[in-house]
A and B are shown apart, each in its own frame.
Chain A
Amino acid sequence: MKIIIVGAGKVGETLAADLSREGNDITVIDKVDSVVDHVCGRYDIMGFTGNGASYSVLMDADIEHADLMIAVTGEDELNLLCCLIARKAGHCQTIARVRNPEYNREVSFIKEELGLALIINQEFTSAQEIARLLRFPTAIEIDTFAKGRAELLHFRIPGDSVLDGLRLIDLHSRLDCNVLVCTLERENMMIIPQGDTILRGGDVISIVAPVEEQVKFFNRIGLKTNAVKNVMIIGGGEIAFYLTKLLLHSGIQVKIIEKELSRCEELAELLPRATIIHGDGSDKTLLEEEGIRSAEGFVSLTGIDEENIVLSLYAKALGVRKIVTKVDRIAFEEVFDRLNLDTMVSPKRITAEHILQYVRAMKNSYGSNVETLHRMLDDQAEALEFLIRDNFAHAEIPLKDLSLKKGVLVACINRKGKIILPRGNDVIRPGDTVVIITSLKGLNDISDIFQK
């Protein structure tokens, strides 16, 4: 694929490095000549100096023949403008990084109206990642798809679980949980389960479920999620804000320690259910006072890597169960690993990986009507995302009345940014995107999933 990356900062550079290694043709645009020289000298890519939102610069970079443009400069507005102009000048897909929370609420509007393929909010994505780490133990693996909005949780059913011997059709009534079992792996065979499939202990299954249902589900089936009940967050930046929202949503108590009074007030207003403490997070007495010893989770999110590391080391020494440390400078990863801190997250790395995942999915689906394609479970299953067009023959028909092929499952319907877990009475409408999980290969169009 021909990909143009605007902005060669940390995220841009990571993307350029990984994507060019995967054989794509990469062109980088940045305002600063020395930055362009730097990345071009390191990777097999081409560079242009200039404003990525300028038509002539984009034409120089051959936007007409590009398949994708990724705008990851430091400015939201510039990124959006880049995408807008790229859309008009070429015929490429566009991805923009937009971090301002004010825009975040309007993401789906902006996306639809400006025709963007993906808008990525670095802080929000990082918060999602951290929340996932806090919510689940490592026994549960998580795959995200549909541009990060839906997540598939894989786990092995414990031998003594209530799921053992349960027919799928009875799952809902027995557990009173809104979950959908998507794939089932038994003795190295992958099947797409049907209503009459019987689950057994030892099976590896993957499910989709709304966030608030997930923990409940795992508790009911007797899988210890090891989930924390309260979390202390140091530093009240954007990530902390999003993270708190997500954690409160799944029933975890949050305490934020923030240095700046005005920000504290702001947070208190935005997050009435969280405890906001005004104080220096690196003050040991304050941490003790606020009960760091009884905290089950500890997240250090200040702007200084060193401070985050020291705070986490302290929390570790006190025996806090789950610790997440934010580190921006990931180049020294080997050293950090030896510090034995549970988990390090780097927002930039997460952003880059998120985009990479999307680009790979896009590349897989190249030339078909599939929006994105994710390969899962050692390529035994695929998650395909289709956009439903106006001429869709099966629109407005309840799913239970449609006859799907064997080995095909409608995992979720995304209606204007809202994820619906489909049940028998749900319908598919034009404009939706639908995620299909299948063990069949070569599905190229949404009509391929129906029996002829």
Chain B
Amino acid sequence: MNFAMIFRILGWMLLFEALFMSPSVVVGAVYREGDVIWLLVSILVCAAAAILFVLVSRPKERRIYAREGVVICALVWFLYSIFGALPFRLSGYIPNMFDAVFETASGFTTTGASILTDVEALPHWLLFWRSFTHWVGGMGILVFVMAIVPLAAGGSAMFLMKAESPGPSVKKMVPKASQTAGILYKMYLVITVIELVLLLIGRMPWFDAFCLTFGTAGTGGFGVLNSSVGSYTTYQQVVITIFMILFGTNFSAYYLIMLRKPKDIFGISEVRAYYGVILISIILITVNILPMYANIGTAIKDAAFQVGSIITTTGYSTTDFDLWPSFSKWILVLLMFCGACAGSTGGGIKVSRIQVAVKTIAKELDNAIHPNNIRKIKYDGKTLEHSVLRGINVFLVSYFLVMGASILLISIDNFDLETNFTAVVATLNNIGPGLAGVGPVRNYSGYSTFSTCVLIFDMIAGRLEILPVLVLFSVHTWRDGDMLTYQKRASKSRMEEESRFLDDFDI
């Protein structure tokens, strides 16, 4: 294990977190809020820790391997959540440190779940920081930094990116990892700016426009009003609906636009399925909730907003969908599991994984009837390798195991099953609001500190797609294999022996 290199990269990452906090200082200055001083303190603490990390580490070997890549990725997310919680805790707006970490983790993982009962009581700078974490976490922290500084030598960079990028298999768009990261962020930035401009055209206040755009772009879901998005105009809600869905689309689709091959977008079967699911869900829910609405237009608008919000795992709400009929609510819960496309900013299981899982089931059914049947699973015209299929299966199993264990752990708090179930589903899938006790108009403040920790874990595990986080808990990750330690111990005597052996050749 190359600990020196891990420390060094973590140090660099913390320095960037200090940088990420800086825009909020400007917001504090603009609104003349005196307690922004606590943000400056947080930045200094962050930077000091970063410098300490970098100074402490003296890497002899610049190369890192898959093991270090995964560990760094998981640690970075926990570290970011802890240091990012400082402004909340220091300024006193969230007195409990665990709650503050929950809020920040919820921000970076683009979950959007909150323990705050009154969001409007927060100063502007803190709200801005809260929303900005969504934007940073959406495309990935490491991906962002990699686009700017070469963190690790050569191919090692890919190990970092792999752990953070959502989806069953990570493909580069261009040969260099740093350039791929750059292209991703360029597209991300452009779409973000378009949304911002459209919201501003719709006369949304500047501050709200910025925060909501960040929330949409990262598919996070932090709002600035207690009513989430409910009190904005229809135009603004429609813009947000469309952009939520756009940010949940596989970014390789936008790359095709960059390559001027827009026709090929619907050749990506995941994109087809994603839009298909959205359309069908909207129709079903609209029909189901129609009796509750005066006119069909509002019903469609609310249905579309909620479907878009849940499938992309954003978690904004325009209405209290907890009051909707059971059928519609269950559709939303299913969409929570489904999640957005791989390679988007959304969370969840991902459409492509579900597609492949369904195909695997079909293949197994076929095998039950014709035991000697040989069939390959194809996706987008390409045969899927066994390793990809295995990865998807293992992901699904570990996903449901983590979910089951989490529900068990938080049920100690003795809330009802619906609350606990949706709380875990909503955090593990990075959505935000669940149903019943954690529904769109309620929040997570009722849970105990222990449950809060479980949910923090779920959010980060969900964002990194389970395995990278589970790796942290494996003994083998931290211990160099038995054989290697043996070698270290034996190396000196063995070297001598070896050189004596070689001397014999030196005739």
Contact = CB atoms under 8 A, between A and B. Distances in A.
Interface in B37-81: 66
Contacts of B502: 335, 338-339
A26 B175 contact: yes
Interface string A28-62: 00000100010011111110000000000000000
A27 interface: yes
A25 interface: yes
B155 interface: yes
Contacts of B177: 44
Contacts of B176: 25, 44
A33 B383 CA distance: 11
B505 A33 contact: no
- Among A2, A20, A44, A45, residue most surrounded by chain B Cβ atoms (within 10 Å): A44
Given A20-B154, A33-B385, A40-B158, A45 B506 contact: no
A340 B177 CA distance: 41
A21 B154 contact: yes
B452 to A, nearest CB: 37
B154 A44 contact: yes
Contact of B158 (A27, A41, A317): A41
B175 A20 contact: yes
A100 B139 CA distance: 50
Contacts of B172: 40, 46
A46 B155 contact: no
Interface in B476-507: 499, 502, 505-507
Nearest to B503: A338
B211 to A, nearest CB: 36
B475 interface: no
- Among B157, B175, B506, B507, residue most surrounded by chain A Cβ atoms (within 10 Å): B175
Interface in B125-176: 154-155, 157-159, 171-172, 174-176
Interface string B415-458: 00000000000000000000000000000000000000000000
A429 interface: no
Contacts of A45: 155, 175
Contacts of B171: 46
A41 B66 contact: yes
A20 B177 CA distance: 11
Given A20-B175, A25-B174, A25-B175, A313 B155 contact: no
Nearest to A24: B175
Contacts of A33: 385
Given A26-B175, A41-B66, A45-B175, A316 B155 contact: no
A21 B63 CA distance: 13
A425 to B, nearest CB: 50
Contacts of A317: 507
Contacts of B385: 33
Contacts of B505: 313, 339-340
Contacts of A335: 502
A66 to B, nearest CB: 10
Nearest to B172: A46
A27 B175 contact: yes
Nearest to A314: B507
Interface in A222-265: none
A363 to B, nearest CB: 16
A20 B387 CA distance: 27
Contacts of A338: 499, 502
Contacts of A40: 155, 158, 172
Interface in B196-227: none
Contact of B175 (A41, A42, A44, A313): A44
Contact of A43 (B155, B179, B499): B155
A46 B174 contact: yes
A184 B507 CA distance: 41
B276 to A, nearest CB: 26
Interface in A307-345: 313, 316-317, 335, 338-340
A345 B66 CA distance: 33
Nearest to B69: A41
A33 B171 CA distance: 13
Contacts of A46: 171-172, 174-175
A20 B502 CA distance: 36
B506 A340 contact: yes
Contacts of B178: 44
Interface string A7-28: 0000000000000110001110
A182 B267 CA distance: 60
Nearest to B169: A37
Nearest to A50: B382
Nearest to B386: A33
B258 to A, nearest CB: 13
Contacts of A340: 505-506
Nearest to A28: B175
B506 A44 contact: no
A25 B66 CA distance: 22
A21 B153 CA distance: 9
B174 A43 contact: no
Contacts of B157: 44
Nearest to B177: A44
B67 to A, nearest CB: 12
A300 B267 CA distance: 56
A214 B507 CA distance: 34
Interface string B252-275: 000000000000000000000000
Contacts of A37: 387
Contacts of A25: 174-176, 179
Nearest to A37: B387
Interface string B175-198: 111110000000000000000000
Contact of B155 (A2, A27, A44, A339): A44
Contacts of B159: 41
- Among B155, B158, B172, B502, residue most surrounded by chain A Cβ atoms (within 10 Å): B155
Contacts of B506: 340
A272 B505 CA distance: 37
- Among B158, B179, B387, residue most surrounded by chain A Cβ atoms (within 10 Å): B158
A27 B507 CA distance: 47
Nearest to A39: B155
Contacts of A41: 66, 155, 158-159
Interface string B369-397: 00000000000000001010000000000
- Among A41, A317, A335, residue most surrounded by chain B Cβ atoms (within 10 Å): A41
B184 to A, nearest CB: 14
Contact of A316 (B175, B387, B499, B507): B507
A33 to B, nearest CB: 5
For the complex of A and B, the 6 pairs showing the least CB-CB separation, nearest first, are A25-B175, A43-B155, A46-B175, A46-B172, A42-B155, A317-B507
14 contacts: A20-B154, A20-B175, A33-B385, A42-B154, A42-B155, A44-B158, A44-B176, A44-B177, A44-B178, A46-B172, A46-B174, A338-B499, A339-B502, A339-B505
Given A41-B155, A46-B174, A313-B507, 4 more contacts: A26-B175, A40-B172, A45-B175, A339-B502
